[in-house]
Amino acid sequence: MAAGFTAPVSAVSAPGEPESIYVVEQGGLVWRVNLASGAKQLFLDFSSKLVANYGNPIPGFPGYDERGLLGFAFHPDYANNGKVITYISEDFQSGRAHFSTMPSGQDPDHQSVVSEWVVLNPLTAMPSAANERVLMVVDQPQFNHNGGMVTFGPDGYLYIALGDGGERNDEGLGHGTEGNGQDTETILGTIARINSDAVAPSNGRYGIPLDNPFVGTAGMDEIYVYGLRNPYRFSVETTTPGNFDLYIGDVGQDAIEEVNRVPSSNPGVNLGWNHKEGSFYFSVIDGTTYVSPTPPFGVSLPPMQDPIVEYDHEEGISVIGGYVYQGSKVSSLQGRYVFADWGRGFANNGRLFMVAAGNQLREIRVTNGVPMHITGFGKDHNQELYVVGSPDFVVSANSGLLQRVEQEDDMCLPIKTRQETLALICL
């Protein structure tokens, strides 16, 4: 479909522009791609906002980073108001954070900044983003486990993914005594839900939907679900009028990758981390971690919801949340949740999966493998499915691809780029 992207993380459609899809790069660029020709044009550049040491957070391992422009969303009324939302990893600024778990006198690694912008001259050769309105600034203790996705739900509210803040076991600096995932008094380790269009909100930035689960009770009003480690990608899928499901790909630590489904009738659910990794119990004893089908002896645990599907680290290493397929070109995927794994180890061999009837996990088998790390998904105006990724895991390589899933016959699907068919998928 299109190539030459640098660390792409998602593909997003703009309301009122059925002829295009927008590819978001971790390094801060957003590209408009013509769906008919594959031609791309630079749309917006947020690279100047990124942390100064972007691409080099680990001494001796240059090029790997989990920070950057991690989320980008068009406002549902973008065609009229020109608004977009970004989630960007920025340098720490003292006194700026709205949410922090850092002890007094300790600075975070960086800050996650969720902002609203107005796009000027969007369809010209020189569009730009102006009038930044900062919605949320969150101190991030470490460079990793940022979550990062932002999207609007069918209810018009903005959903924001936030990881547990980094580090192993949800422990250490900025993780408190029990970790962030299980602490409903911190926004880390959650999917937050806010009203970015609220008129004269009390905090001056956004409103809180009155049906958020912790409104009027203990816990942060912004939290919609909690108990997450690194919900890098999620989707909000309409089921029936007025109802929807959250599908959340939560990246595991020692052993398990998981997909959670949270219906709109059950907000506030605890998804388990760091008491659980997938459906298994997680514990740390004398510095050693254990993942077990049985709970630790003598420990009282709260109610927790298990994932709908999971797989272990023999099969992959980092789940990449996708979408429920609602297009018309691939009948065998209709109504199925399609997601991916980044790749086994650090080899460029991502995998595609679907959730079949009865919540059965099925691989979408690719005859020649997927020769890249899968890093995100997208949907166009016809609800057709796109995959983004790169054969390189460093954030500086411009080998990234945007690919569209198309049906070739009743049983097989080719994954195609603009230049060639890369592989044949057989269900």
DSSP code of 242? Answer: T
Task: Please give the pLDDT value at position 426.
Answer: 45
Q: Is the dihedral of CA 31, 340, 360, 295 positive or negative?
A: negative
Coil vs helix vs strand at 108 = coil
CATH number (domain holding residue 148)? 2.120.10.30
Task: Please give the pLDDT value at position 371.
Answer: 83
Distance CA 148, CA 62 (A): 21
Task: Look up the pTM and report it.
Answer: 0.95
DSSP class per residue in 291-329: EESSPPTT------PPPSEEEETTT-S-EEEEEE---SS
Task: Please give the pLDDT value at position 425.
Answer: 45
Contacts of 127 (CB under 8 A, 6+ apart): 43, 44, 119, 120, 121
Number of folded domains that form the chain: 1
Task: Please give the pLDDT value at position 310.
Answer: 98
Coil vs helix vs strand at 78 = helix
Q: How far is CA 33 from the centre of its chain?
A: 21
Distance CA 422, CA 86 (A): 32
pLDDT tens-digit profile, the chain (427 residues): 899 999 999 999 999 999 999 999 999 999 999 999 999 999 999 999 999 999 999 988 899 999 999 999 999 999 999 999 999 999 999 999 999 999 999 999 999 999 999 999 999 999 999 999 999 999 999 999 999 999 999 999 999 999 999 999 999 999 999 999 999 999 999 999 999 999 999 999 999 999 999 999 999 999 999 999 999 999 999 999 999 999 999 999 999 999 999 999 999 999 999 999 999 999 999 999 999 999 998 889 999 999 999 999 999 999 999 999 999 988 889 999 999 999 887 777 899 999 999 999 999 876 566 789 999 999 999 999 999 999 998 999 999 999 988 765 544 444 444 333 334 444 4
Rg, C-alpha atoms of the chain: 20
Q: Which domain holds residue 153?
A: 2-426
Question: Residue 313, Cβ neighbours under 10 Å: how many?
Answer: 16
319: nearest Cα among 86, 90, 149, 68:
149
Task: Please give the pLDDT value at position 406.
Answer: 74
Task: Please give the pLDDT value at position 298.
Answer: 87
Please, are residues 281 and 296 in contact by the beta-carbon 8 Å criterion? Answer: yes
Please, are residues 141 and 108 in contact by the beta-carbon 8 Å criterion? Answer: yes
Task: Please give the pLDDT value at position 421.
Answer: 35
Contacts of 401 (CB under 8 A, 6+ apart): 1, 2, 3, 5, 8, 372, 388, 389, 390, 417
